Amino acid sequence: MTQFQQGRQQSDLDEAISLQRQALELQLPPHPSRALSLNNLASALSIRFEQGGQQTDLEEAMSLFVTATQYPFQSPSHRLHVAKQWIRCADVNKHISAINAYEAALQALPQVAALSLDVGSQHKALTAGSDGLARDASRCAIHSGHLDKAIGFLEAGRSIFWSQVLSLRSPFDQLHQVSPKLADKLQAIATALEIGSHRDVSAEILDNHKKLSIDRESSRLNRLNEEWAASIHEVRKLCGFEDFLHPRISSLKSAASEHPVVVLIANDESSHCLIMTPINVHHIPLPRDYQGF
């Protein structure tokens, strides 16, 4: 792939794709590195589509990105990384799956931002190409005609970014006051997932001990992901936590039953005004030079 980037020879790109397919065949589920191979193959196929215009390459790439983001044997930070790659490819190629890519990224972001190992990793999660994620996601949803989803994306971004950047209480902090044991359990699971994703389990595949190590690590990651999902379900049973780590779109709808809720979205390419009423959401395009306030 590096050779193709230097010389732009089609044969190098084709060989890279062929080798990525072979790598994927060697990393069958539940191999913890499979998501990385899925992402690499998808990226290579998207590049070949941009070179040759074969629609089958683009559709396969988008399908691989979907599979990679849904792969259970990976950490939340890696899932977010794959979702961002998917967003870039879908945006560049104007693919219909872009809105799903944004949704996958925003679903992964709360766990990365609020439950990361330390302040440094939180900051990295919020600034490494993610600070405008919700705004860009809402713009994508507007262009796709999903106005309700556009507001949901914005609310997801507000709850994640403002609580972190302003050091306000996050949903996790609120949970800790109500159920410290459950909060500590979530923290421990998130930490174990993040640490586990950085372990080196890719050494000699012919070594039976290493193969056993990979199988055990995959099983452990799968168990941790299942425990995370079960714990989140348990949290959402608590009064006031029904939308834990979800955008609180229900609160906005409740507010809109009394008065219209107006949301202004400023982007470099285009700006928008969304007005939520008890019946539906109205969209008003704003002048190109609108910068918000």
pLDDT in tens, 209-251: 555 566 777 777 778 888 888 998 999 999 988 877 766 666 6
Cβ neighbours around 179 below 10 Å, total = 16
Residue range 279-290: average pLDDT? 79
Which pLDDT score, from 0 to 100, does residue 37 have?
95
Backbone angles phi, psi at 263, to 5 degrees: -125, 125
List the chain domain ranges: 169-246
Of 166 and 242, more confident:
242
Decide if pLDDT at 114 tops 70. no
Structure tokens at 282: 């109205």
DSSP assignments along 196-222, one per residue: HTTS---S-TT-HHHHHHHHHHHHHHH
Query: Which residues, other chains included, contact 232 with Cβ-Cβ below 8 Å and sequence gap of 6+?
Result: 186, 244, 245
> Are 141 and 153 in contact, with CB atoms under 8 Å apart?
yes
Query: What ranges make up the beta strands (E) of the chain?
Result: 261-265, 271-276, 281-286
Does position 262 have pLDDT exceeding 70, yes or no? Answer: yes
CA distance 220 to 28: 16
- Output the pTM of the full model: 0.72
Q: Beta strands 271-276 and 261-265: pairing type?
A: antiparallel
Question: In this structure, what token pair is assigned to residue 177?
Answer: 């006051």
Judged by average pLDDT, the poorest of 23-27, 60-64, 193-197, 255-259 is: 193-197
With a cut of 90, say whether residue 148 has pLDDT above it. no
Chain segment 188-201, per-residue pLDDT in tens: 887 787 676 555 44
Edge-first strand listing for the sheet containing 261-265? 261-265, 271-276, 281-286
* Predicted pLDDT at 221: 77
Measure the CA–CA gap between 267 and 272, rounded to whole angstroms. Answer: 8
Task: Say if residue 287 is preceded by a cis peptide, omega within 30 of 0.
Answer: no
Backbone φ and ψ for 292, nearest 5 degrees, come out as: 75, -170
Q: Which residue, 190, 94, 188, is CA-closest to 143?
A: 94
Higher pLDDT: 121 or 83? It is 83
Averaged pLDDT, 251-265: 81
Helix/strand/coil for 262: strand
Distance (Å, rounded) from C-alpha 268 to C-alpha 121? Answer: 28
Residue 126 confidence (pLDDT): 52
